[in-house]
């Protein structure tokens, strides 16, 4: 069996590995480290939790041990899709490079630009960043990537899901053509394969068997709730989640609750707090300082439940997690393995429980097809009874409150009109008025001031009655001053 001492790593790196307690490399480490030390491009395909981080940090430290970084010109670059993954890479670098003089900088969102600029200005050997923040520094003129000798892309399939592929392609174009590239991904989507064919030169391909099964130390269960109205489904699931937690009792020392949407993360965390459970949310919309405090509190045991989106499912090494609760069935079957892999680590026992509804039938089938086994069904009992249907009185009240459709009224009127006899239709017409009986119009000049004026359709507004009686013209009543002036002009002529 291959040992770390057989991989030609630097003696200072081997010393750090011994202190951590590792002796045997994982399959991805044993396959990726030798070609990386030779300076070749590496394409590693392996799931999270297989030791990918060490498979590129260990050879990087060995290769960069000689040389010195210049201001604003890092010697190596590591790209990670999320802040947490980038921070974890930085922790691994500190762990394995403790006996070297190599320096690093971590460029992630939610942290002051000024502090990061100060580190870059001093010169760093290893730059660990998320794509967005890296490009922000570059566009501000604070970073030069022409001296990058080793470039690492970690969790490339996650980059694809988050829409970072255009940024990755741009960053590749900013680095030297002669760089060494270490590229890692859990899956090989067509878009990722196109990038590797474009930017990697004759890479050494290391593919570890797909992690399609969970650890045997994890007890899995799925609870299929009965169908109910869509607007009541979320509340039904929250109620059942609390009952699961109460049932497990002291067995739940801590746990991670996974939701598919960020908005549900906040709602579930708030619901648990309301009923006396110590829970905190974590997702991509929270600022970095908040996320860091929450993760630290969970690791230290100050927070019992971490309600998370999939940002916490991949790559985060959180030890001693007793339970994982899937509030939602994951949309991608692979995410199920990543989620439940947060428990049952290092040979410990763990429990994974998932809440399912009839709408999740296809997603659940895809997960069982992936892991090649049927997840045991838990006993729902009477705890998750569907929301009661409205009573007949409530239904009648709702029916009365709803206005009838206008189309039905018009149709009924038209039907009555059609059924009416012809004589009735003739009688409904306006009666013929004889000429001698026609009312004579009153003289316009005799219009009384108290008569209501007709509504005007002018721009001034409809039905404006503040203008007084309508002006109807002079008629036969010519004012004296006009008649007098007219007579004077005629006499003069």
- The CA angle 328-332-333, to the nearest 5 degrees, is 95
**Domain-embedded: residue 335:** yes
What is the spatial distance between Cα 124 and Cα 107, in angstroms, rounded to a whole number?
12
What is the spatial distance between Cα 6 and Cα 24, in angstroms, rounded to a whole number?
10
What is the spatial distance between Cα 164 and Cα 156, in angstroms, rounded to a whole number?
9
Q: Do 191 and 232 lie in a common domain? A: no
Among 207, 232, 265, the domain-final residue is 207
**Domain-embedded: residue 227:** yes
Answer whether 254's CB lies under 8 Å from 319's CB: no
Confidence bin at 485 (pLDDT 50/70/90): low
Q: Do 367 and 312 lie in a common domain? A: yes
Six token digits for residue 340: 């439940």
**Domain-embedded: residue 213:** no
**Domain-embedded: residue 42:** yes
**Domain-embedded: residue 487:** no
Among 207, 228, 248, the domain-final residue is 207
Q: Do 181 and 76 lie in a common domain? A: yes
Q: Do 232 and 202 lie in a common domain? A: no
Q: Are strands 218-224 and 150-153 parallel, antiparallel or unpaired?
A: unpaired
Among 371, 386, 417, the domain-final residue is 371
Mean pLDDT for all residues in the chain: 80
What is the spatial distance between Cα 165 and Cα 131, in angstroms, rounded to a whole number?
9
- The CA angle 373-335-287, to the nearest 5 degrees, is 155
Tens digits of residue pLDDT in 74-109 = 999 999 998 888 988 999 999 999 999 999 999 998
The domain of 165 spans: 4-207
Q: Do 250 and 203 lie in a common domain? A: no
Tens digits of residue pLDDT in 236-273 = 999 999 999 999 999 999 999 999 998 999 999 999 99
What is the spatial distance between Cα 282 and Cα 310, in angstroms, rounded to a whole number?
10
Q: What is the pLDDT of residue 388?
A: 42
Which SS3 state, helix, strand or coil, does residue 253 take?
Answer: coil
Answer whether 98's CB lies under 8 Å from 73's CB: no
Q: Do 202 and 222 lie in a common domain? A: no
What is the spatial distance between Cα 228 and Cα 390, in angstroms, rounded to a whole number?
12
Q: Do 201 and 59 lie in a common domain? A: yes
Answer whether 353's CB lies under 8 Å from 324's CB: yes
Q: Which is more confident, 394 or 430?
A: 430
Q: Do 254 and 193 lie in a common domain? A: no
Tens digits of residue pLDDT in 191-235 = 889 999 999 999 999 988 655 566 677 899 999 999 888 878 999
For the chain, the domain total comes to 2
Q: What CATH number did the domain enclosing 86 receive?
A: 3.40.50.300
Tens digits of residue pLDDT in 107-149 = 998 788 998 999 999 999 999 999 999 999 999 999 999 999 9
Q: Do 138 and 198 lie in a common domain? A: yes
Strand order in the sheet with 305-308: 218-224, 350-356, 323-326, 255-258, 305-308, 279-282
**Domain-embedded: residue 27:** yes
Tens digits of residue pLDDT in 430-477 = 444 444 444 555 555 444 444 444 554 544 444 444 455 555 555 556
| Residue (of 72, 95, 88, 314) closest to 186 by Cα position | 314
What is the spatial distance between Cα 113 and Cα 140, in angstroms, rounded to a whole number?
10
Q: Do 256 and 344 lie in a common domain? A: yes
**Domain-embedded: residue 407:** no
């Amino acid at each position: 069996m291959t040992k770390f001492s057989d991989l030609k790593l630097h003696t200072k790196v081997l010393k750090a590995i011994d202190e951590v307690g590792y002796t045997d490399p994982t399959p991805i480490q044993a396959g990726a480290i030798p070609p990386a030390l030779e300076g070749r491009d590496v394409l590693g395909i392996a799931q999270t939790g297989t030791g990918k981080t060490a498979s590129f940090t260990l050879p990087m430290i060995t290769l960069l041990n000689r040389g010195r970084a210049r201001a604003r010109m890092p010697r190596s670059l590591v790209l990670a899709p999320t802040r947490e993954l980038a921070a974890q890479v930085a922790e691994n670098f500190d762990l394995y490079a403790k006996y070297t003089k190599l320096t690093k900088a971590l460029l992630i969102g939610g942290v002051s630009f000024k502090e990061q600029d100060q580190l870059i200005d001093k010169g760093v050997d290893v730059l660990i960043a998320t794509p967005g923040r890296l490009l922000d520094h570059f566009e501000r003129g604070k970073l030069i990537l022409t001296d990058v000798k080793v470039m690492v892309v970690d969790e490339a399939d996650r980059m694809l899901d988050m829409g970072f592929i255009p940024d990755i392609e741009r960053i590749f174009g900013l680095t030297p053509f002669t760089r060494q590239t270490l590229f890692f991904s859990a899956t090989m989507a067509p878009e990722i394969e196109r990038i590797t064919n474009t930017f990697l030169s004759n890479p050494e391909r290391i593919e570890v068997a797909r992690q399609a099964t969970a650890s045997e130390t994890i007890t899995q269960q799925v609870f299929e709730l009965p169908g109910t109205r869509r607007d009541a489904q979320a509340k039904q699931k929250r109620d059942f989640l609390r009952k699961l937690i109460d049932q497990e009792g002291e067995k739940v020392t801590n746990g991670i609750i996974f939701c598919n949407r960020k908005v549900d993360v906040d709602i579930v965390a708030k619901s648990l707090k309301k009923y006396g459970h110590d829970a905190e949310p974590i997702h991509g919309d929270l600022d970095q300082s908040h996320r860091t405090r929450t993760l630290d509190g969970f690791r230290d045991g100050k927070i019992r439940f971490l309600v998370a989106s999939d940002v916490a499912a991949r790559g985060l090494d959180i030890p001693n997690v007793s339970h994982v609760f899937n509030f939602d069935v994951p949309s991608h079957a692979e995410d199920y393995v990543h989620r439940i892999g947060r428990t049952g680590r290092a040979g410990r026992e763990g429990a994974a429980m998932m809440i399912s509804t009839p709408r999740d039938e296809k997603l659940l089938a895809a997960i069982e097809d992936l892991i090649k086994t049927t997840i045991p069904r838990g006993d729902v009992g009477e705890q998750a009874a569907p929301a009661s249907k409205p009573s007949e009185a409530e239904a009648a009240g709702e029916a009365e409150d709803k206005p009838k459709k206008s189309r039905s009224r018009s149709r009924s009127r038209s039907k009555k009109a059609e059924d009416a006899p012809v004589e009735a239709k003739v009688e409904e017409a306006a009666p013929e008025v004889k000429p001698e009986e026609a009312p004579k119009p009153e003289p316009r000049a005799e219009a009384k001031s108290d008569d209501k004026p007709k509504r005007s359709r002018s721009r001034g507004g409809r039905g404006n009655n503040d203008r007084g009686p309508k002006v109807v013209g002079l008629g036969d009543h010519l004012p004296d001053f006009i008649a007098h002036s007219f007579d004077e002009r005629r006499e003069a002529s």
